[in-house]
Structure 1
Amino acid sequence: MKKILLIGILSLMGIVAGCSEKGEKEKVKTKVLKVAFNQSENHPQYKAMREFSDRLEKETNGAYKLEISPNGLLGDQRATLELVQSGVIQMALVGNPVVENFNQDFAVIGLPYLYDSLDHQKKVFLSGILDPLFKSVSKNGFEVIGAFTAGSRCVYTDKPIMKPEDLSGYKIRVMQSDTMKKMIDLMGGVGTPMGQGEVYTAIQQGVIEGGENNEVTYSDLKHYEVAPYFSYTNHLMIPDLIVINEKLYNGMSQENRKIFDRLMYETIEKEFLAWNKNVEKAKEIAIENGATFVNIDIKPFQKNIEPLQETVKNHSDVTRSIYKKVRELAN
């Protein structure tokens, strides 16, 4: 009798424990972070963020995961950053010039010919020297939590661009940034701010003569169909910034915040490796579809943009300090 009673008690304890465990699991509600991205699912940055999401969900025991909307479905980069500020969505990937509009000091890390190579840029992004700059926009309702490389940006249009004079009268699409517009103007063309999603049609209709971007975006968006000459001006290695709603980010538990930050650091490192692989594949696709990649002497373009470099790096004590530290890491 005692044995039967003991078995009954143990069974009941097991049921209670099971219910308790089930209840605990049910308490864990996954917070889905909506992320805006203006490129396709084939882009290395999209793939990097998908891997980040998988790891984040696993390591936070289901507390967080990402829902990434590619192809500019949630709007252009300026619009999606405003959505992050208001908390309508939680994260977005935006070009550095977009954040420039909130703090002009950001212009220094997007200067033409600032980085000597991808390795140099990776050193800068992982060094921590940009952390104070990234946190400076928190009063605007968002924080910058890291930067991805987007490779070297080059000019593409309907003819080879061998020297600044070849750009004369050519309207070249740039991101919505005064610095980017001035850059193309100094390089010899006419900088024309425009959303990424409008570029293909704008070239096709003759509204602009070309764009400036990296090989991956050029191929991914099939811009080779309307601008078959990709000239290696290598004028810019502009950061793509990962932004997050400030209240959400600072509302994470200490443990989850630590996991989030570590995984983001590792994701940035991996994205640099993935970028190199994607460049070669993108070039192959573009060439198969009629594109021509043109190597040129970049020195005349470098000379032309020196006034812009001087103006931006001397904008403030912050920009002078960052410029100095970035250049020191080139050695």
Structure 2
Amino acid sequence: MYIANRNFKEDLMRFRTLPYFLLLITGLFSCNQLEKTKTIKLAHGLDVNHSVHKAMVKMGEDLKELSGGKLGLEIYPSQQLGTERQCLELLQIGSLDMTKVSVGVLENFAPKMKVLGLPFLFRDRAHAFKVLDGPVGQQLLEDGEKYWLKGLGYYDAGSRSFYTKDRPINSPEDLDGLKIRVMESVTAIDMVSGLGGSPTPISWGELYTSLQQGVVDGAENNPPSFYLSRHYEVCKYYTLDEHTVLPDVLLAGTHLWKRLSTEEKEWLTQAVEKSIIYQRKLWLQSEEEALNAVQQAGVEIIRPDKSLFSEKVKGIYQQYETNEELYTLIRKIQETQ
């Protein structure tokens, strides 16, 4: 860093003086000797007020305590290092250590994950956690390792529902002709198409402007994301059809994982587990706060007949019947009690 921040020619002239060169090398060596904390860099796309970010802050505190200061966490929120897709790519090449992404984005890198994005797959939150924290969820996390992505666990991201600018969605028919923003997810695209809407992939960071300018007529997400993104300033109708329970996934690059000792892996694993428990508690509170806040801001909350939506997308499941591996996963999820 010292050399990079100085004029190269000036430094070159100084290096001709041996004492200066030795002083510089000694200084750098001393800094490395004094540096005892191994820093793990974690990036994500959410606001600092989001429950996920708060859980990551706690993870950093716990990691420092568990490791006696030998491991530290450096967090980059709000897409500072790129979109979720870009962060995954940085993980794969080893330029970033950890990230959090939605399963909807992750399915483009670890294909089996797409089963979690199927509409109306989970009966309720309890069923979802039973699956995610059980053998099926673990199997899906482990499957990512062949793509240089080490799955560490699942954060709660609630249920996703539609919000729109100019007209309420009371039934699937109301989606006809509407451009709905979706993640870069084949499963999400198929779902919106199946319900009669026109799916339009747009990055999360560009969505507010896209809604303002009419590039899309609406989007779909969970209550805290709808609120913290301030999309409620543009969209005044929120339909709680809860079509998907799409978790967030905490990941480390396999490049990082291979560099960690057995003891360091244990410290990180423990800190992650603590953060997941903490985040899930925060999530329930943030969901309620978000719905109250958007209502006070003039958003109409609509609670439709969900069966109208679930019936409309049953055909999506038929596409998986010819894929024995994925269909087996779906059956295991549905049969989990």
What TM-score do the two structures reach when normalised by structure 2?
0.86
Q: Structure 2 residue aligned with 1:192, among 200, 224, 228?
A: 200
The 8 Å contact of residues 44 and 99 in structure 2, kept in 1 or not, is answered as: yes
Higher mean displacement: 267-276 or 226-235:
267-276
Amino acid paired to 2:202: M
Residue 324 of structure 1: CA displacement?
2.4
1:288 corresponds in structure 2 to 296
Q: 1:210 to 1:261 in 2, by over 3 A?
A: same
2:317 corresponds in structure 1 to 309
Superposed, 1:200-211 pairs within 5 Å as 200-211=208-219
SS state at 1:88 partner:
coil
* CA offsets 1:15-72 (integer angstroms, 9 cap, x no match): xxxxxxxx9xx66621221111111011001111111111011101222222111111
SS state at 1:92 partner:
strand
Q: 1:145 to 1:114 in 2, by over 3 A?
A: same
Q: 1:269 to 1:126 in 2, by over 3 A?
A: farther
2:122 corresponds in structure 1 to 115
* CA offsets 1:209-243 (integer angstroms, 9 cap, x no match): 00100000000011111111000111011121111
Q: Distance in 1 between matches of 2:72 and 2:198?
A: 42
Amino acid paired to 1:276: L
The 8 Å contact of residues 110 and 147 in structure 2, kept in 1 or not, is answered as: no
Residue 172 of structure 1: CA displacement?
0.5
Q: 1:311 to 1:163 in 2, by over 3 A?
A: same
SS state at 2:305 partner:
coil
Amino acid paired to 2:217: E
2:159 corresponds in structure 1 to 152
Q: Distance in 1 between matches of 2:123 and 2:278?
A: 20
Could you tell me the percent identity over the aligned residues?
32
1:13 corresponds in structure 2 to none
The 8 Å contact of residues 130 and 322 in structure 1, kept in 2 or not, is answered as: no
1:264 partnered with 2:272: yes
Q: Distance in 2 between matches of 1:273 and 1:56?
A: 20
Q: Distance in 2 between matches of 1:231 and 1:139?
A: 38
Cα RMSD of the aligned pairs, angstroms, is 1.8
- Provide runs of 4+ in structure 1 moved above 6 Å: none
1:4 corresponds in structure 2 to none
1:224 partnered with 2:237: no
Q: How many equivalent pairs are there?
A: 306
1:242 partnered with 2:250: yes
Amino acid paired to 1:179: T
Q: Structure 2 residue aligned with 1:52, among 55, 59, 62?
A: 59
Q: Distance in 2 between matches of 1:273 and 1:317?
A: 36
Q: Distance in 2 between matches of 1:38 and 1:203?
A: 19
1:62 partnered with 2:65: no
1:319 corresponds in structure 2 to 326
Amino acid paired to 2:132: F
2:307 corresponds in structure 1 to 299
What TM-score do the two structures reach when normalised by structure 1?
0.87
Q: Structure 2 residue aligned with 1:93, among 97, 100, 113?
A: 100
Q: Which runs of 5+ in 1 are unaligned?
A: 1-22
Residue 315 of structure 1: CA displacement?
5.7
2:80 corresponds in structure 1 to 73
Q: Distance in 2 between matches of 1:317 and 1:252?
A: 36
Q: Distance in 2 between matches of 1:227 and 1:109?
A: 27
Q: Distance in 2 between matches of 1:177 and 1:242?
A: 18
Residue 265 of structure 1: CA displacement?
2.6
The 8 Å contact of residues 60 and 271 in structure 2, kept in 1 or not, is answered as: no
Q: Which runs of 5+ in 2 are unaligned?
A: 1-29
Q: Distance in 1 between matches of 2:328 and 2:57?
A: 35
